[in-house]
């Protein structure tokens, strides 16, 4: 039988061997050794069993370091090194497992069905449709898109959602600017033009006029509302050009204006009022408001006021109130009230559906789990939403609501501001353009004969991948200070290096493919062994990231950079192998065959890993 996850198989045998030697489950004490001399998997249980067994750690380690090689063929040896118990993988059966797993699964190597049957909604990047994406938005989009890819890989049914806030003051101002300012002086993409106009409008927009527009937008079903929808859709299409370059995709767009006119909030309010923790005081500071009492939660007790307003005294819902209603819909607590239309996005190539004031119904089925990709600065607001869901009695929804948090990207000494226009020159488009320009020079240098089409396509793929990877390889809770040199460095731990490695492997395979019969026993040197071990870990890496998704007080952490790190180390190992082990000119024909197979497997796994990272694996760059 072919195994899907070779590393898990080895780990299982180690855990069982320890179970036999100790009589207990010691899996929690397993860790990867820092040094390969210490084996492939280490157990530190001996430290913790001293009390229980009244022996020294070294003695215990010695007793733990026994196993039956017949029963556990994947373990070559177990060595007690001081207090540590080190397990060494038996490469002979293991490489057989790895080869079979990759050869049978191919593009699907790394996939599993462990989480099948659950519907997950991932929402990102919710950029206001009156600005282009700046680099911080790109971080959001890239995290969301990669998370969606990862969750799909482990079997979830994933909906990639975007929320479009087309009703805010900022949209009314942008609309005013379009009506009253000269748009022709700005060139380029529509979101760039609107973004510039919006910055310009800050100084002299007519407030009463903008208020009137806002009122009409909120009422809907009038010319202003229709024109604003046109404006925001056009901006959104411009966003999708940027998304396409970043390889970011969506399935469903939800518009604030459609929510506003759907009757969703009225239904939500009934449910909100039915809860014992909500009320509408008749006197005091919050007379006439709908409030929820959050005093049961310790962190709110510190605040001046533990009552959170969900509906203002003038009858308008607050942001939190609206968010509660929105999530009632997402979780299916309220029946889907929306109409849907296809939203053509030739740029990303996706079949996207969008909410609309007319059209079909039933294009959404309720979610089991929600991931909202939102910045860490919003963590208290997000916590308020899911804790409110809990006090209202929707335990399940609250538990399955995850604020996928990340720190912002800033400029040296400044932050991104749509209003102030600090993004100008640092929009995602600008950054990708510069990276692409740089990539084009490099590609041309290496492919002097190549035609313009090849140059453009490859340069664009590399440039945008460089940006995407740079945003992905840093832990989410770390603030990123934007520096050109970080994004434009194409050496080392950067997307171009990974893509180059893939092209190198492809180049060998273009010249010759591995034979149908290969003698795996030829693969014995440390370069080859290291590669085989890394290849076998890929499915486990994916599952570790998904299992590691963890809610913290500041938000939910996902360690996507582990995937980046894995991919980088696979490339390092491959390039080292490449430089030390001739493939096509190997000493013997059987060795050549075996190495060709190894190259093919590396190319396959690298391709799968790059795909998860949202990077197109190219055969030539």
CB of 240 to RNA, least distance (A): 22
| Residue (97 or 133) nearer to RNA, CB | 133
| Binding residue (CB under 7 A) for RNA from 340, 497, 538, 566 | 497
Considering only residues 329 to 358 of the shown chain, the ones binding RNA according to CB under 7 A are: none
Is residue 35 close enough to count as binding RNA by CB under 7 A?
yes
| Residue (251 or 528) nearer to RNA, CB | 528
CB of 390 to RNA, least distance (A): 18
| Residue (186 or 554) nearer to RNA, CB | 554
Stretch that binds RNA, among 110-118, 183-191, 197-205, 557-565 (CB under 7 A): 557-565
Is residue 360 close enough to count as binding RNA by CB under 7 A?
no
Considering only residues 386 to 445 of the shown chain, the ones binding RNA according to CB under 7 A are: 407-408, 410, 415, 439, 442-443
Is residue 621 close enough to count as binding RNA by CB under 7 A?
yes
Is residue 583 close enough to count as binding RNA by CB under 7 A?
yes
| Residue (57 or 195) nearer to RNA, CB | 57
Tell me the DSSP string of 141-161.
Answer: HHHHHHHHHHHHHTT-EEEEE
| Residue (304 or 517) nearer to RNA, CB | 304
Is residue 377 close enough to count as binding RNA by CB under 7 A?
yes
CB of 594 to RNA, least distance (A): 13
Is residue 25 close enough to count as binding RNA by CB under 7 A?
no
Q: How far is the C-alpha of 589 from the C-alpha of 583, rounded, in Å?
A: 10
Q: How far is the C-alpha of 8 from the C-alpha of 74, rounded, in Å?
A: 11
| Binding residue (CB under 7 A) for RNA from 376, 404, 409, 545 | 376
| Residue (158 or 495) nearer to RNA, CB | 495
**CA-closest candidate to residue 134, choices 415, 474, 443, 539:** 415
| Binding residue (CB under 7 A) for RNA from 190, 198, 426, 500 | 500
Q: Going residue by residue from 270 to 309, which x/- string records binding to RNA, judged by CB under 7 A?
A: ---------------xxxxx---------x--xxxx--xx
Distances (CA, A) of 321 to 131, 282, 284, 290: 26, 19, 20, 9
Exposure string for 55-94, b = 16+ CB within 10 A, e = fewer:
eebeebbbebbebeeeebebbbebebeebbbbbebbbebb
Tokens of 39: 């084996």
Angle formed at CA 77 by CA 76 and CA 81, multiple of 5 degrees? 150
Burial zone of 451 (CB within 10 Å; 0-12 exposed, 13-18 middle, 19+ buried): exposed
**CA-closest candidate to residue 242, choices 121, 354, 134, 352:** 134
Question: Does residue 501 contact residue 571 with C-beta atoms inside 8 Å?
Answer: yes
| Residue (360 or 477) nearer to RNA, CB | 477
Q: How far is the C-alpha of 450 from the C-alpha of 455, rounded, in Å?
A: 7
| Binding residue (CB under 7 A) for RNA from 316, 335, 524, 525 | 316
Name the DSSP class of 295. Answer: T
| Residue (152 or 318) nearer to RNA, CB | 318
Considering only residues 209 to 238 of the shown chain, the ones binding RNA according to CB under 7 A are: none
The single residue listed with the structure tokens 């076998």 is 536
Is residue 27 close enough to count as binding RNA by CB under 7 A?
no
| Residue (327 or 568) nearer to RNA, CB | 568
| Binding residue (CB under 7 A) for RNA from 147, 170, 216, 436 | 170
| Binding residue (CB under 7 A) for RNA from 7, 10, 72, 84 | 84
Question: Does residue 166 contact residue 229 with C-beta atoms inside 8 Å?
Answer: yes
CB of 153 to RNA, least distance (A): 20
| Residue (115 or 500) nearer to RNA, CB | 500
Tokens of 388: 């409110």
CB of 212 to RNA, least distance (A): 15
Question: Does residue 102 contact residue 2 with C-beta atoms inside 8 Å?
Answer: no
Stretch that binds RNA, among 117-125, 195-203, 230-238, 496-504 (CB under 7 A): 496-504
Is residue 493 close enough to count as binding RNA by CB under 7 A?
yes
| Residue (51 or 358) nearer to RNA, CB | 51
Angle formed at CA 422 by CA 419 and CA 425, multiple of 5 degrees? 125
| Residue (159 or 604) nearer to RNA, CB | 604
| Binding residue (CB under 7 A) for RNA from 4, 8, 15, 33 | 33
Q: How far is the C-alpha of 422 from the C-alpha of 425, rounded, in Å?
A: 8
Is residue 508 close enough to count as binding RNA by CB under 7 A?
yes
Q: How far is the C-alpha of 173 from the C-alpha of 181, rounded, in Å?
A: 11
CB of 316 to RNA, least distance (A): 7
**CA-closest candidate to residue 546, choices 567, 560, 536, 561:** 560
Q: How far is the C-alpha of 568 from the C-alpha of 562, rounded, in Å?
A: 10
Stretch that binds RNA, among 116-124, 374-382, 532-540, 609-617 (CB under 7 A): 374-382
Backbone conformation region of residue 126, classed left if phi is above 0, alpha if psi is from -120 to 50, else beta: left
| Residue (111 or 280) nearer to RNA, CB | 280
CB of 613 to RNA, least distance (A): 16
Stretch that binds RNA, among 15-23, 115-123, 140-148, 316-324 (CB under 7 A): 316-324
Helix (H) or strand (E) holding 356: strand 350-356
CA–centroid distance for 293 within its chain: 34
CB of 504 to RNA, least distance (A): 5
Considering only residues 46 to 75 of the shown chain, the ones binding RNA according to CB under 7 A are: 47-48, 57
Which residues have a Cβ under 8 Å from the Cβ of 400 and sit 6 or more positions away? 331, 367, 368, 369, 370
Question: Does residue 541 contact residue 576 with C-beta atoms inside 8 Å?
Answer: no
Considering only residues 469 to 488 of the shown chain, the ones binding RNA according to CB under 7 A are: 474-475, 477-481, 485-486
Considering only residues 85 to 104 of the shown chain, the ones binding RNA according to CB under 7 A are: 86
Tokens of 473: 């390889």
| Residue (44 or 529) nearer to RNA, CB | 44
Total interface residues for RNA by CB under 7 A: 102
| Binding residue (CB under 7 A) for RNA from 2, 71, 77, 82 | 82
Exposure string for 292-325, b = 16+ CB within 10 A, e = fewer:
bbbeebeebeeeeeebbbbbeeeeebeebbbbbb
């Amino acid at each position: 039988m072919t195994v899907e996850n070779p590393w898990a198989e080895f780990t299982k045998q180690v855990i069982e061997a320890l179970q036999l030697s100790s009589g207990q489950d010691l899996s929690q004490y397993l860790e990867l050794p820092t040094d390969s001399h210490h084996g492939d998997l280490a157990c530190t249980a001996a430290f913790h069993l001293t009390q229980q067994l009244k022996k020294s750690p070294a003695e215990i380690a010695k007793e733990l370091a026994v196993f039956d090689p017949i029963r556990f063929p994947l373990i070559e040896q177990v060595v007690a090194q001081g207090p540590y118990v080190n397990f060494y993988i038996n490469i002979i059966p293991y490489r057989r497992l790895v080869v079979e797993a990759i050869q049978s699964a191919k593009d699907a190597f790394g996939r599993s069905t462990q989480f099948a049957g659950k519907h997950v909604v991932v929402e990102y990047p919710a950029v206001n449709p009156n600005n282009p994406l700046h680099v911080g938005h790109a971080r959001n989009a890239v995290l969301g898109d990669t998370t969606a890819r990862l969750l799909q890989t482990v079997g979830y049914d994933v909906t990639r959602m975007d929320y479009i806030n087309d009703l805010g003051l900022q949209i009314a101002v942008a609309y005013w600017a379009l009506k009253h300012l000269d748009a022709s002086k700005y060139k380029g993409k529509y979101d760039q033009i609107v973004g510039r106009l919006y910055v310009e409008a800050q100084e002299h927009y007519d407030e009463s006029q903008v208020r009137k527009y806002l009122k009409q937008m909120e009422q809907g079903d009038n010319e202003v509302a229709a024109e604003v929808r046109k404006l925001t859709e056009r901006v959104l299409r411009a966003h999708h050009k940027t998304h396409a370059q970043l390889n970011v995709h969506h399935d469903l767009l939800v518009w604030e204006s459609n929510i506003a006119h759907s009757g969703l909030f009225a239904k939500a309010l009934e449910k909100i009022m039915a809860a014992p923790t909500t009320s509408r005081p008749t006197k005091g500071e919050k007379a006439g408001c709908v409030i929820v009492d959050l005093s049961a939660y310790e962190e709110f007790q510190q605040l001046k006021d533990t009552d959170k307003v969900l509906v203002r005294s003038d009858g308008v819902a607050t942001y939190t109130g609206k968010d509660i209603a929105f999530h009632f819909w997402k979780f299916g607590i309220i029946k889907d009230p929306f109409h849907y239309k296809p939203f053509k996005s030739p740029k990303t190539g996706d079949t996207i559906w969008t909410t609309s004031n007319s059209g079909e119904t039933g294009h959404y089925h309720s979610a089991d789990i929600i991931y909202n990709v939102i910045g860490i600065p919003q963590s208290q607001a997000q916590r308020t939403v899911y804790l409110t869901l809990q006090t209202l009695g929707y335990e399940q929804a609250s538990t399955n609501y995850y604020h996928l948090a990340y720190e912002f990207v800033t400029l040296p000494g400044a932050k991104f501001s749509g209003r102030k226009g600090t993004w100008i020159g640092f929009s995602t488009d600008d950054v990708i353009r510069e990276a692409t320009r740089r990539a084009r020079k490099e590609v041309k240098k290496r492919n002097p004969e190549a035609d313009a089409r090849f140059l453009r396509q490859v340069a664009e793929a590399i440039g945008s991948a460089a940006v995407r990877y740079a945003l992905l390889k840093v832990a989410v809770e770390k603030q990123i200070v934007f520096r050109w040199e970080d994004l434009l460095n194409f050496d080392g731990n950067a997307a171009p290096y990974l893509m180059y490695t893939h092209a190198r492997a492809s180049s060998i395979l273009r010249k010759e493919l591995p034979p149908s019969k290969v003698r795996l026993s030829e693969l014995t040197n440390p370069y080859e062994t290291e590669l085989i071990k890394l290849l076998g870990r890929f499915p486990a890496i994916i599952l570790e990231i998904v299992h590691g998704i963890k809610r913290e007080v500041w938000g939910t952490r996902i360690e996507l950079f582990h995937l980046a790190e894995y991919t980088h180390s696979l490339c390092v190992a491959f390039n080292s192998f490449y430089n030390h082990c001739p493939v096509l000119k190997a000493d013997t024909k059987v060795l050549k065959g075996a190495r060709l197979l190894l190259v093919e497997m590396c190319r396959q796994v690298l391709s799968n890993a790059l795909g998860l990272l949202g990077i197109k694996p190219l055969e030539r760059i």
